[in-house]
Structure 1
Amino acid sequence: MLKFDNVSVTFRKRDGQPFQALEDVSFDIADGSFVALIGPSGCGKTTLLKIVAGLQKATSGRVEIDGATITSPGPDRALVFQNFVLLPWYDVITNVAFGLEARGVGKAERLARAAAELKKVGLAGFEHHLPHELSGGMQQRVGIARALVVEPRIILMDEPFGALDALTRSVMQRDLAAIWSEEGNDRTAVFVTHSMQEAVFLADRIVLMNTRPGRVEEVIEVPFERPRGEGVTRSAEYRDFVDYLSSRLEQMQRTDMQPTELPA
């Protein structure tokens, strides 16, 4: 169980004034579930992800895994970035195996495990290509394989498809949904996205956040069973669900844009 317990984060602006990024964020994520965080820019989605990764500390409150407060990075978590962050001088299989090497796994085993993950993400045959020889979508597949190969309990994804073109993004969503349907019960995913369609297609639950300061507005169960394919996105139920999220976000944005009354 991943538990967010009254998490608040306050930063200092350049002028020294405090800025509250998150306020009393509380929700739970069950083991084996796929949860998407959506909301306006600046609502603290990535900050929450960094706290789970152990890269950011909460000002107050805590994030726990099975009751133990997260205080630092750990081998039970892996992070997939929007930018591919591959080592350009290493070939694909070495990039995927890099985390295993850092954990002391022998060469033969780590290369075998890396090859298996590359096959899973559709990159068999590209093991010895360099990153610059791959398309953006292929590079992101390498990033996902690199995260999965270390067998993390929790995988954290920060807008992983945000830099891709629309067609490639759609393909990557379907591929990730297929992978999750096959082995998702073995790990938990926290997925940050600005795309409501992406959140509905991939997630089991959606945490809808608001801003100024960042806070949870609603936690929504996604009603579509796995495995999910293109048929889901063509259904009236899917469109209605996305429309509901759109209306909620538009409502929040209109509220945030209301002028603040000045004292008389």
Structure 2
Amino acid sequence: MATSRINGPPPSADRPTGRMGHHQPPQRARLMAVIATTVTGVFVLVAIIIIVGVVATVLPHNSVPTPDVLCATVVLRTAEPDATPLTRPACAPARITGTGHGATALAAAARWLGTPYSWGGGALDGPSRGIDQGANTVGFDCSALTRYAWHQAGVALPRTAAEQWHALRHIGPGYRAPGDLVFFQGSGGGPNHPGHVGLVRDTDRMIEAPRTGLRVRISRYTVRQDIIGYARPGS
């Protein structure tokens, strides 16, 4: 009669054998996975914070547009006592850089930010009623604004944009300064006969009386394709 050998109970499926004995219990594996995920998330968050800080440092402070002027509505003073009073936004002075006559002229023009454009309007002492389509509007046209501004700085200019262009000393783009005049072909103008003019504020913006329906404003002149050139009154 054969004798069976009893070597103990057979291996259980729940009992690790051989190399499986080195595996970690499931609970510990899950814990390690959670820890690894958390650490990865922390590193990603820190990286994002660092990138945002670097970008904020590198970008110029003027990357976000800010208002140039702060305005409130007031009654418009006019050069004509019998003119119908109009209202316009009264604006805090724009940020003016530079010194001398140019800065004085620029500051004088900035006083009238928000004033209506008036074809043929504008006198040496302020806005006035215009002619034709500007007959019912008290304000400035483009060359009247530049003429008024430079009059406040003690420099006399001719009346129209074309006359100012031909009367003044021209300067190169690299020499422009606050208060210099920038001339454009505009509507109805030509390569040597400007139809529009504004006052340089900085290397990118100007103060101008643009056209009927708009108001004296600060705008970018460097984006325009019809610039004829620059001139400096009083030089």
Q: TM-score, normalised by structure 2?
A: 0.24
Structure scoring higher RCO (CA < 8 A, sep ≥ 6) equals 1
TM-score, length-scaled by structure 1: 0.22
Larger strand percent: 1
For the pair shown, which has the larger CA radius of gyration, 1 or 2? 2
